[in-house]
A = this chain, B = another copy of it.
Amino acid sequence: MSVVSAESNGNYPGKGVGEPVGVAILGKGTVGTGVLRLLSEFSHNLEQRIGGPLEVRGVAVSNVDKHKDAPEAAGLYLTDNALELIERDDVDVVVEVIGGIDYPRELVLKALRAGKSVVTANKALVAAHGSELADAANEAGVDLYYEAAVAAAIPVVGMLRRSLAGDQVQRISGIVNGTTNFILDAMASTGASYEDALAEATRLGYAEADPTADVEGHDAASKAAILASMGFHTRVTFDDVYCEGITGITAEDIAAAAKANQTIKLLAICERLVNEDGTTRAVNARVHPTLVPNEHPLASVDKSYNAIFVEAEAAGRLMFYGNGAGGAPTASAVLGDLVGAARNKIHGGRAPAENPYANYDVVGFEEVETRYHVNMTVNDRVGVLADLARMFSEADVSLSAVRQEESGNEAHLIVVTHKAREKNLHEIVQRLSDHDDVIAVNSVLRLHD
């Protein structure tokens, strides 16, 4: 009978059942504080679920004085020397909840290389340097968990890592940014302008003082990169993700969508592009405002909730819904990961890691087929409609609907296309803008199907 060697379970020694698992927490903002509270409140449960107690060896903060009197820090070792904390022999798992990219990257790499498993909530870090971190974890034979990096406690990373491990993901369409969903929902339910809805979101704490990362879609793009990497077993980074935010969405766009029984959502879409024989040609990830039919489950995701809709070959349509942000939900996801990492330290084994074996081409958005919904103001003269329709047909784009509404000498023209290459659609819109009879292209939105 062969004995399971340390090598097959990672290069670092395991612990026995009942032995404590040492934890270093890096960062004590909203999430770090939430993690400390749950660690204290649930300590008995966590010990039972893990097979040994979790012991916090220390919390790294930038300013010890600022945190030393906080109730959740009572009895804990606070330090501003994160590197020294990580390297302690009695630290087995490192929780990184600092945020930012360069500094946490350095710390996480240091931890992994020292044989510590790492749990991070840092989407920007994972989206930018996920493969470097995964490689370091693999070399050291330790775990790298990041459920909290995407949609907080909605367990979409675990679902892609494990539950769908025997299936083939075709497309992931997610509302993964609560701020923008709150703004779009407020616009839809009150008729408010983008500016007013953003002001309300800021007032209520749903938007940060500088909302750029949210409203321009950068936050969602990080999550799209992570979801695509997991779902398609291919390395997709933040830079691969086409990104268009919601700052151009007007109250008129929202009203027109509602009239057509649609809702505008900012979606992160990760798509497998297939050849005619069904094989995979490439994958793509993108973020843009999207017209979602009201009967689609994503359309009714309101307020700051997140939801991820997954289409898989055998499983069919799945949706996961919940709080995608906030201290407690994010801390819940971090603790779920921490239990996993600690269990593996005691019981052996490693969590399935990022595994980019499929290595598909990651193509730009221009290669993807989408459907356009174009709203124009045009001169109301005989033949304009035919003229414009010909521009579409010459570009090999077929139309699924045309709607014209007259108002004086002008007409509003709404054109909905069938699926066509994004590049061709984009070019047609350019040419429409230049057409003498087109007074204005009021909005261009993509349609979810």
Q: Kindly state whether residue A97 has any CB partner on chain B within 8 Å.
A: no
Residues 313 to 358 of chain A near chain B (Cβ within 8 Å): 313-323, 326, 328-329, 331-340, 343-344, 346-350, 352, 355, 357-358
| A207 CB within 8 Å of chain B | no
Given contacts A165-B49, A166-B46, contact A315 B322 (CB under 8 A): yes
Query: Known: A314-B328, A322-B318, A332-B315. Contact between A165 and B340, CB under 8 A?
Result: yes
- Please, which residues of chain B bring their CB within 8 A of the CB of A339? 162, 165-166
* Interface 9-residue window, one of A13-21, A106-114, A197-205, A440-448: A13-21
Beyond A3-B13, A322-B317, whether A352 also contacts B346 by CB under 8 A is: no
Q: Which of A59-67, A123-131, A150-158, A185-193 contacts the other chain?
A: A150-158
Name the distance in Å between A314's Cβ and chain B's nearest Cβ: 4
Q: Is the CB of B8 within 8 A of A13?
A: no
Chain B residues within 8 Å of A349, by CB: 9, 344, 347-350
A1 in contact (CB, < 8 A): yes
Least CB separation from A319: chain B residue? B321
Contact B323 A320 (CB under 8 A): no
Please tell me if the beta carbons of B321 and A318 are within 8 angstroms of each other in the complex: yes
What is the bound-complex CA distance between A163 and B348, given in angstroms? 19
Please tell me how many copies of the chain the complex holds.
2
Whether the Cβ atoms of B314 and A332 lie closer than 8 Å is yes
A312 within 8 A of B: yes
Query: With an 8 A cutoff between CB atoms, is A275 at the interface?
Result: no
Cα distance, A443 to B150, chains bound together (Å):
45
Chain B positions within 8 Å of A337 at CB level: 166
- Asked if B3 and A357 sit within 8 Å, CB to CB, the answer is no
Q: Is A419 an interface residue (CB 8 A)?
A: no
A-side binding surface: helix, strand, loop or mixed?
Answer: mixed
**Interface presence of A5 (CB below 8 A):** yes
Q: Is A257 in contact with chain B by the CB < 8 A criterion? A: no
State which of B49, B162, B233 has its C-beta within 8 Å of the C-beta of A336. Answer: B162
A293, CB-defined interface residue at 8 Å = no
Contact B13 A167 (CB under 8 A): no
**Least Cβ distance of A349 to chain B in Å?**
1
**Nearest chain B CB to A34 CB, angstrom units:** 7
Interface membership of A6, Cβ < 8 A:
yes
Closest residue on chain B to residue A157 by CB atoms:
B163
A42 interface neighbour in B16, B166, B319, B357, Cβ under 8 Å? B166
Interface string of A354-382 (1 = CB under 8 A from B): 01011000000000000000000000000
User: Taking the complex as formed, is A38 at the interface, i.e. its CB lies under 8 A from any CB of chain B?
Assistant: yes
Given A5-B4, A9-B349, A347-B349: A167 and B336 within 8 A (CB)? yes
Distance between A293 CB and nearest chain B CB, rounded to angstroms: 14
**Residues of chain B with a CB closer than 8 A to A92's CB:** none
Other A-B contacts than A48-B355, A315-B322, 20 sampled, CB-CB below 8 A, are A4-B348, A48-B233, A48-B357, A48-B358, A49-B352, A49-B355, A153-B314, A153-B315, A155-B159, A163-B336, A166-B338, A314-B331, A315-B323, A316-B322, A317-B323, A318-B321, A319-B322, A320-B320, A348-B348, A349-B350
